[in-house]
Every structure is written in structure tokens, then in C-alpha cells.
Amino acid sequence: MSKQYNHAINHMGLSVPNLEEALKWYTEVLGFVSLGPTIVEDRSINPDTAVFRICPPGFNKVKVAYLTTGNGVGLELFEFLDPKMDPNLASSFESGRDFRRGGIFHFAVTVPDVEAMAKKAEEHGGKRIAQTVRVFGEDGVYIQDPWGNGIEVISTSWEQLLCNRSAGNLVVD
């Protein structure tokens, strides 16, 4: 039996209603780095570009920005221009996200000071979802970006958070 390969997360993509605002928020608040200019892909001009060959039909024009995080995991920000994103359908913890719905629930960012990051997010249009809690001796809090995407802010890496814990010992402080 061959050993299972531990694959790395390469990148994730988020849909946002305004790419410039989201790019500013993710670079100024979370410190992610933009990897170049934004790109606009238009099916009527270039129907064979990768985004139109990979994704199912249903959109004709999209604006994309590429960012990188502190550990090299990528973040793509998509603003769908045709058809436009419907803000009434956006995910949001605050508006009573339907937890029965599948899909991305949140992503997490490691920071040295979760309170400072939660405050910074709020100062830039984000929201604190709940109070800061202790998780296995570390601070953690849920925030959301201005478009309702859930972000867990935690004070240590995933591996350090869970190392040396047995399955029966996975409880929150």
C-alpha cells in the first residue's frame, strides 16, 4: 500500500462585488501581497482563455486579482461583471448564514495579536462576529470581510494548535 501524499493548499478564490475595494481590504488589513495588475477576461474577446474553459458556462466577463499570503497560499479575488454578483445572495455570518448549505465556511489567518487584527478589520469595514475565545491555549476570533466572508483569526499555526492532542482531547478551553 502506498503512502498517502499530504497535498498543500495552493490557493482559494473568493467572489466579491467590487474588486478594487476587496484588493485594498485584503492588502491593507491582512497584509496579503498583490502579485500584479488586475486582469479582465471577456468571453466575447477571448473565449478560449483558461477561466472560460475551466468554469461552466454562465458568465461572460470577470475581473481577477491575484494575491499571496505570508506562507505562499494564494488568494484569487473575482468580481463577476457579466452577470454581476447579487449582494442579496452573498454569504454572511451576520445575516444568518444557512449552516445547512455546503461550501466554504471560513478560512483562517495566523496573526500575533487577534484583538489588534479584529479591531483593524472593523476599522476597515469588516465585522467582529463573536468575542475572542481561547482555543487550546491560543486566542481566536471570527471576523468577516466587508462582503460577508468568514475569517478565523488565530494566534498560532494549525499544526501548533493541534499538535500532541489526542482525538478525545479536542475541546475548546
Q: What is the pLDDT of residues 41-74, one digit of tens each?
A: 999 999 998 888 887 778 899 999 999 999 999 9
CA atoms of 43 and 38, how far apart (whole Å) = 17
Question: pLDDT tens digit string along 114-152?
Answer: 999 999 999 999 999 889 998 888 899 999 999 888 899
* b/e map 155-168, b = 16+ CB within 10 Å: bbeeeebeeeeeee
> Phi and psi at residue 77, in whole multiples of 5°?
-110, 125
Question: pLDDT tens digit string along 78-124?
Answer: 999 998 887 676 566 656 566 656 667 789 999 999 999 999 999 99
The larger pLDDT score, comparing residue 80 to residue 5, is at 80
Task: Determine the residue type at 74.
Answer: G
Mean pLDDT of 147-171: 77
Give the contacts of 138 (CB within 8 A, at least 6 positions apart): 154, 155, 156, 160, 161
